[in-house]
Amino acid sequence: MALRVFGTFALGKLGLQAQVMQAAGVTAAYAYSTVVQGYKYAKSHEWAKVHGDTATVGISDHAQSQLGDVVFVELPDVGKVVKQGETFGVVESVKAASDVYSPVSGEVVEVNQALVDKPGTVNTSPFEEGWIIKVKLSNKGELAALLDADAYAAECEKH
């Protein structure tokens, strides 16, 4: 029941985003949340989009819909070294402080300062404007351990 409620909430919030995503030709859908092709996903619901030696990182639509309204994002410092599978920050929503885990290893080269004033962007645009950090990759081989969009969608449907 709870998942269905949040699915409806997510669809409502994502109406505009779905149009953007379809225009980019990258949308896959499962159950009630959006999964974007071309991104890599961790089972802990973070995504990585690779551009050359850098990856942009955020949390998935499934995660933002389950977390509820995001009211605060604790960002790491630029220059911090992150490791795949280890926590790099915190997202606060609905009285919960939830750790977020880096899907890649490397050095943080940029953080999304816009989230300081508008943390809700993580809800409204989890795959675009709601990105959290950018990482200069130290081991591109680790990307093989992540899931593609279809595998991640299947993982989420287990719950």
Partner 1 sequence: MSRPVLNMLRISRLPIYTQLHLEEALLRGTKDNWLIINDGAFNPAIVVGISGRPPELIQCNEALQYGIQVIRRFTGGGTVVVDHDTVFCTLIMQGSLLPHVECFPQPIMAWTERLYRPAFAAAGCPDFALRENDYVIASGQKVGGNAQAITGRRWLHHTSFLWDFDADRMGLLRQPGKAPKYRQGRSHFDFVTRLRDVLPSSGSRQRLVDAIVDAAANVADIDVQERTLADAAAALRQPQLLLGTKLLDLREFLRSGEGLLR
Interface residues toward partner 1, by CB under 8 A: 2-3, 6, 44, 66-68, 71-72, 74, 87, 90, 92-99, 101, 159
| Cβ-based nearer residue to partner 1, 17 or 66 | 66
Which one, of 27, 47, 30, 51, lies nearest residue 39 by Cα?
47
* Helix (H) or strand (E) run with residue 134 in it: strand 133-137
Cβ neighbors of 120 (< 8 A, separation 6 or more) are 69, 70, 71
Nearest approach in angstroms of CB 58 to partner 1 is 17
Nearest approach in angstroms of CB 61 to partner 1 is 13
* Separation CA 2–CA 111 (nearest Å): 32
| Cβ-based nearer residue to partner 1, 21 or 91 | 91
Nearest approach in angstroms of CB 88 to partner 1 is 12
Nearest approach in angstroms of CB 43 to partner 1 is 10
Whether 101 and 130 have beta carbons less than 8 Å apart is answered as: no
| Cβ-based nearer residue to partner 1, 55 or 115 | 115
| Cβ-based nearer residue to partner 1, 4 or 110 | 4
Whether 111 and 73 have beta carbons less than 8 Å apart is answered as: no
